[in-house]
Structure 1
Amino acid sequence: MARYTGPKSKIARKFREPIFGPDKALEKKNYPPGQHGPNKRRGKQSEYAIQLAEKQKAKYTYGILEKQFSNLFTKASRAKGITGENLLSLCESRLDNVVYRLGISPSRRGARQLVGHRHITVNGKLVNIPSYAVNEGDVIGVREKSKSLEAISSSLSANPVKVEWLDWDAHLMTGRFIKSPERAQIPENIKEQLIVELYSK
Structure 2
Amino acid sequence: MARYTGADCKRCRREKTKLFLKGSKCDGPKCPIEIRPYPPGMHGRARTKESEYLLQMREKQKAARMYGVLEKQFRGYYEEAHRSTGKTGENLLRILETRLDNVVYRAGFAKSRDMARQLVRHGHLLVNGVKVDIPSYRVREKDIIEVRQRSHEMTPFVVARAEAGERTVPAWLEAIPTQMRILVHSLPARQVIDTPVQEQLIVELYSKN
TM over 0.5: yes
Quick check: 1:32 aligned with 2:22? no
1:76–1:86 CA contact under 8 A, matched in 2: yes
1:122–1:138 CA contact under 8 A, matched in 2: yes
**Structure 2: distance between partners of 1:89 and 1:159:** 25
Which residue does the alignment assign to 2:91? 86
- More displaced stretch, 71-80 vs 17-26: 17-26
* SS class of match (1:18): coil
**Structure 1: distance between partners of 2:48 and 2:116:** 38
For residues 1-201 of structure 1, the aligned pairs below 5 Å read 1-19=1-19, 20=21, 21=23, 22=26, 24-38=31-45, 40=46, 42-158=47-163, 160=165, 161-201=168-208
Encode CA deviations 1:80-105: one digit per residue, 9 max, x unaligned.
21110110011000000001111111
Aligned residue identity for 2:11: I
Encode CA deviations 1:58-85: one digit per residue, 9 max, x unaligned.
1110011212111111111122211101
- TM-score with structure 2 length normalisation? 0.90
* SS class of match (1:68): helix
Q: In angstroms, what is the RMSD of aligned CA positions?
A: 1.4
Unmatched runs of 5 consecutive residues or more in structure 2: none
* SS class of match (2:93): helix
- More displaced stretch, 158-167 vs 171-180: 158-167
**Structure 2: distance between partners of 1:193 and 1:141:** 34
Give the aligned length.
Answer: 199
- More displaced stretch, 62-71 vs 137-146: 62-71
Q: Hey, which bits of structure 1, 4+ residues long, moved more than 4 A?
A: none
Aligned residue identity for 1:86: N
**Structure 2: distance between partners of 1:52 and 1:157:** 39
Describe the shift of the 1:185–1:120 C-alpha distance in structure 2 as closer, same or farther (beyond 3 A): same
Unmatched runs of 5 consecutive residues or more in structure 1: none
Question: Offset at 1:36?
Answer: 4.3
Identical-pair percentage: 47
